[in-house]
Amino acid sequence: MFTIEQIKAAHSKVKSGSDYPHYVQDLIKLGVTSYETYVTDGNTFYEGTNGYKITSETKYGTLKIAAESNKDQFILNLKTHQQGKSDYHTFCIQCAESGIEKWIVNLTKMTCTYHDKAGAEILVEEIPGF
C-alpha cells in the first residue's frame, strides 16, 4: 500500500494546476482510488483498494470558508489554476473565498467534485488529460 511520504513525493512535482494530470497518474500507480481534501487546512484523506485509508497532516494555517459560495468566481479561479497561473496554496485561498469547503477526487471515475459548506455540489468535472 501507499504511504503519505510517497504521496508527498508525487505532489512535490506539482507546481501549478497544469501539472495535475501527471500527479493523478502518479497516485493511480501508487494505488490511490480516491481522496478528499479540506480547504480549511489542506488535510486530505486517501483511500486505496481493500478499504485501505491514510490521512495527511495539515498543509497550511486555517483558512476561513465563505458562508456563501460563488460558483462563477470559483470557476474562473479554477480555470486560471489549471492553466498554470496560480500555485496550490493560492488556489486553496481562492477556494475558501469562493465558499468551497472541500473536493473529492474519484480516480476510478476520473472526476473531481467541489462542495460548499452545506455539502452541495458546486461543480463536477472530469479530470483533464484523460
Tens-binned pLDDT, residue by residue, of the chain (130 aa): 899 999 999 989 887 677 888 899 999 999 999 999 999 999 999 999 999 999 999 999 999 999 999 999 999 999 998 888 988 899 999 999 999 999 999 999 999 999 999 999 999 999 876 6
pTM of the predicted protein model: 0.90
Question: For the chain, what is the radius of gyration of the CA atoms?
Answer: 14
Q: Cβ contacts of residue 35 below 8 Å, gap of 6+?
A: 27, 44, 45, 46, 47, 104, 105, 107
CATH topology of domain 4-126: YdfO-like fold (3.30.1810)
CB 101 within 8 A of CB 114: no
Break the chain into its structural domains and give their ranges. Answer: 4-126
Dist CA 70 CA 129 (whole Å): 26
Joined grid coordinates for residue 19: 501539472
